[in-house]
Amino acid sequence: MNPFSLSVAELEKKARAVRRHIVTLNANSPAGGHTGADLSQVELLTALYFRILNCAPDRLEDSERDIYIQSKGHAVGCYYCVLAEAGFIPLDWLPTYQHGNSHLPGHPVRQKTPGVELNTGALGHGFPVAVGLALAAKRDNSKRRIFLITGDGELAEGSNWEAAMAAAHYKLDNLIVINDKNGLQLAGATKDIMATDPLDEKWRAFGMEVSECKGNDMASVVETLENLPQTGKPHVVIAHTTKGAGVSFIAGKPEWHHRVPKGDEIELALSELKDLVEEEMKSE
């Protein structure tokens, strides 16, 4: 059971707090960050950790806890901000992101950060490991579920499709792959670099049960994740997102894949997010 079980409205507020953390965390990093990728998946991770996942900071070794894997490891900034809001790590660790001897390196490292389940960064590794964990859970008659987020650019890695075949073969219906489909990657548009569409048909051809949602719309994310079809197949949720979602001058801009806010950009981004919070407070 999730220890928070927040409502959609509460999740939306939490997501805005996470976005503010992302802006300041990346701005303070001496080694840069992946601001666009971080902002893309805010609703997805917030919904998972504050409503969907059966896991908690005081149950890190619980053999029945759900497992989450951040397969697109470069978007670790969002991951850290959600872990901090959920109490897995202290909030005062966030300003140390990528500083010397920090608990928060530039990609997830299990040995450094409580709550991180798998070291990732080399793309295409998360899904195969998730398949192994889901298969082990099945053989142990465990009720745990395995969730992961992949990027759409990451799907150019062939290991993902080998993993999909194995997941379907073993009927791993305890596996939920969330595909953060924002259409952009390091060097530009995914459709120009390595087109994946029709993505839904590809997943189905590999034996996966496919659902779709608006990935930056909290109600759509929650509705989809809580009502996955039970067909005995592994699940894929194609989440249609916007890279850099939530900040007007970052959203949809490929140059923000590996950019961080600087100077006036920091205050401008925080001002946009602050206005949203103030509007909520006025309406209550």
pLDDT band at 282 (very low <50, low <70, confident <90, very high): low
| Model confidence pLDDT, tens digit, residues 125-151 | 999 999 999 999 999 999 999 999 999
Instruction: Round to whole Å and give the CA distance between 241 and 41.
Output: 8
pLDDT band at 112 (very low <50, low <70, confident <90, very high): very high
Domain boundaries, the chain: 8-283
pTM value surpassing 0.75: yes
Residue 281 reports pLDDT greater than 90: no
pLDDT of residue 274: 84
* Cβ-contact 155, 185 below 8 angstroms: no
Q: Mean per-residue pLDDT for 51-79?
A: 97
The residue whose two tokens read 């998972």 is: 48
Cis geometry, peptide bond prior to residue 198 (ω within 30 degrees of 0): yes
Instruction: Round to whole Å and give the CA distance between 230 and 37.
Output: 30
pLDDT band at 169 (very low <50, low <70, confident <90, very high): very high
CATH of domain 8-283: 3.40.50.970
Q: Mean per-residue pLDDT for 79-90?
A: 98
pLDDT of residue 12: 97
pLDDT of residue 34: 97
| Model confidence pLDDT, tens digit, residues 31-56 | 999 999 999 999 999 999 999 999 99
Residue 247 reports pLDDT greater than 70: yes
Lowest mean pLDDT among 108-122, 153-167, 268-282: 268-282
Residue 61 reports pLDDT greater than 80: yes
Buried b (16+ CB within 10 A) or exposed e, 30-53: eeebbbbbbbbbbbbbbbbbbbbb
Q: In the predicted model, what is the mean pLDDT of the chain?
A: 95
